[in-house]
Amino acid sequence: MANENLGAAKQAKNDEFYTQYADIEKEMNAYLDYDQDAFKDKTVLLPCDDPEWSNFTRYFAQNFQRFGMKKLISTSYAYDSKHLTAPWQPTLFESDSPHYDKKKSPAKGKIFTLDCDQNGNDKIDINDLQWEYLDGDGDFRSREIQPLLSEADMVVTNPPFSLFREFLSWVINARKQFSVIGNMNAITYKEVFPLIRDNKTWLGPSISSGDREFEVPDSYPLEAAKSRISKDGRRYLNIKGIRWFTNIEHGRRHQPLQLMNMEDNLRYNRKLIKALGGAKEYRQYDNYDGIDVPFTDAIPAGYKGLMGVPISFLDKYNPEQFQIFGITQSWDDPTGLKQVIYPTQVQVSKNGKRSQVKKLNDGAAIQIKEPPSDSTYYEVNEKTFIKPYVRVLIRKNPGEKHEG
């Protein structure tokens, strides 16, 4: 489910979430484990960044020589354009620099570059970063940043959550390698899912569950249960449902899921047995010719029909093992998998409120005999249905031999 902190960020356009160094390192190491030359001779662009605070810039600058990189480019977004409430305070790094301009400081973005040994110590690292003010505010969509994207081989960053769709399209259209952070519910966006279905984007290997901690500005309210202020006054917030979206190969993407067959799942998979309420078979969709699989580990080995699985399945998706056909959203049915379009339904919420809706067409529908007492259901054509959360529609790949 979408995290409420991210929802608030989208509404307020408050997208200042600084990624932890360890999270960046773990993800990049996974690419290097698969291909030790993943960054060799590459120009890496870090847009939507804040180089004076960002761990992305620090990580790649510190590892520039070890990775054999060609060039590092990092750009920041102007403070005035962020519309934050706290007064502007330049860092000592900036204010002590001969480039410092009091007028430009809050109004202009900055560009940091690293490509050679600047201080004569025979190594290239963070101490060799060069910077200057941009002419504009550093918005990744601006004409000033576009040539930097054209120059780059790879884009790595934590883009604004409110602009994730637009940012991903920006990178995809440029045909660059990328690794960017977003919320897993982005999988359900019509701008994102087709890229996953068509094997142009997949999830990174290092995050597949739990929260991730981000540093936030002093002006950001710490209203979440999992938030803290460190001893040195830095503010941190835990965000749920975070994932890396990438087109860089990694090893986990080619590891087959080890699965039980349908009979064994129905007999031994406790989560599945509980979800089915003691039923002796998987639930069949009414509007798709497929079965509902509520948990990834309940996918039945050897089953050749269409299956609806949770979006978290993509954490373990192996394109050699399964083929993705679609997603249970009203905007996605390129191959005509949906078999029923329902007329207006009556939605009955768990508190008994009844309303006229058309929501059943925006998902998979499961017919049930008795209305549930603790969840929403739908009535149409004298039948009762429930609608599980968004499902990814998959089939076993023909010729796949891993049966569990």
* Whole-angstrom distance, CA of residue 359 vs CA of residue 365: 10
Strands (E) across 224-358 are located at 227-229, 235-240, 242-246, 290-292, 306-310, 322-327, 345-348, 354-357
pLDDT tier for residue 105 given thresholds of 50, 70 and 90: confident
The average confidence (pLDDT) of the chain is 90
**What integer pLDDT is reported at residue 280 of this predicted model?**
92
Structure confidence by residue, pLDDT tens digits, 174-192? 999 999 999 999 999 999 9
Structure confidence by residue, pLDDT tens digits, 269-282? 999 999 999 899 99
Residues with Cβ within 8 Å of residue 118, at least 6 apart in sequence: 127, 128, 130
Residues 316-341, mean pLDDT to the nearest whole number: 92
**What integer pLDDT is reported at residue 4 of this predicted model?**
43
Both structure tokens of 36: 């030790």
Residues 40-50, mean pLDDT to the nearest whole number: 92
110: nearest Cα among 55, 160, 47, 64: 47
Structure confidence by residue, pLDDT tens digits, 74-95? 999 988 888 776 778 787 778 8
Structure confidence by residue, pLDDT tens digits, 245-295? 999 999 999 999 999 999 999 999 999 999 999 899 999 999 999 999 999
Both structure tokens of 363: 């998902």
Q: Is residue 6 predicted with pLDDT exceeding 70?
A: no
Q: Is residue 141 predicted with pLDDT exceeding 90?
A: yes
CA 258 vs. chain centroid, Å, equals 25
**What integer pLDDT is reported at residue 14 of this predicted model?**
52
Q: Following DSSP, what letter does each residue of 359-386 receive, concatenated?
A: GGGSS--EEESS--SSS-EEEETTEEEE
pTM for this structure? 0.90
Dihedral sign for Cα 88, 89, 93, 97, please: positive
Residues with Cβ within 8 Å of residue 297, at least 6 apart in sequence: 259, 269, 271
Structure confidence by residue, pLDDT tens digits, 335-380? 889 999 999 999 999 999 999 999 999 999 999 999 998 899 999 9
Residues 102-131, mean pLDDT to the nearest whole number: 92
End-to-end CA distance of the chain: 29
Crossing angle for the helix pair 55-62 and 21-34, nearest 10 degrees? 40
Q: Is residue 9 predicted with pLDDT exceeding 90?
A: no
Q: How do the residues of the chain divide into helix, strand and coil, expressed in percent and rounded to 5? A: 25, 25, 50
pLDDT tier for residue 158 given thresholds of 50, 70 and 90: very high
Q: Within 10 A of 87 (CB to CB), how many other CB atoms are there? A: 9
